[in-house]
Amino acid sequence: MTKFQVHEVFRLPSRQQFVMAGSIAEGVVRPGMNAIIVLQYKLTWSIPITSVEFIDRIASKESIVALVFAEQNSEDAYLCQALCEGGTLIDVIDPGK
């Protein structure tokens, strides 16, 4: 199973998308896979990954991975932000397997 460590979550309102930026801790992430966010004990939110992009931060010379998701509504990013604080480790699964 793939593990992704979330550094931050933010919206791309002009694209009606939101991003989980961070690093891949284990495995490989591809578009079409699902990020699994724990809401409560045994209750999860499975979010399909639209694309995987890279963010190069010039000031810190850091390159991080961006998992991009389509917004169902403008609150999605804020909910994800509340559930995935910096350092949170999430599972990413391939629904076809």
The number of distinct structural domains making up the chain is 1
DSSP three-state, residue 16: coil
Q: Are 18 and 35 in contact (CB under 8 A)?
A: no
Q: Under 8 Å CB-to-CB from 71, ≥6 apart: which residues?
A: 11, 16, 17, 18, 77
Asked whether the predicted pLDDT for residue 36 surpasses 80, the reply is: yes
CATH number for the domain harbouring residue 78: 2.40.30.10
Q: Mind listing the pLDDT tens digit for each residue in 47-86? A: 999 999 998 877 777 789 999 999 988 888 899 999 888 8
DSSP three-state, residue 63: strand
Which residue segment(s) compose the domain that 79 sits in?
A: 2-93
Q: Are 26 and 2 in contact (CB under 8 A)?
A: yes
Rounded distance between C-alpha atoms, residue 41 and residue 70, angstroms:
25
Average pLDDT over residues 29-39: 94
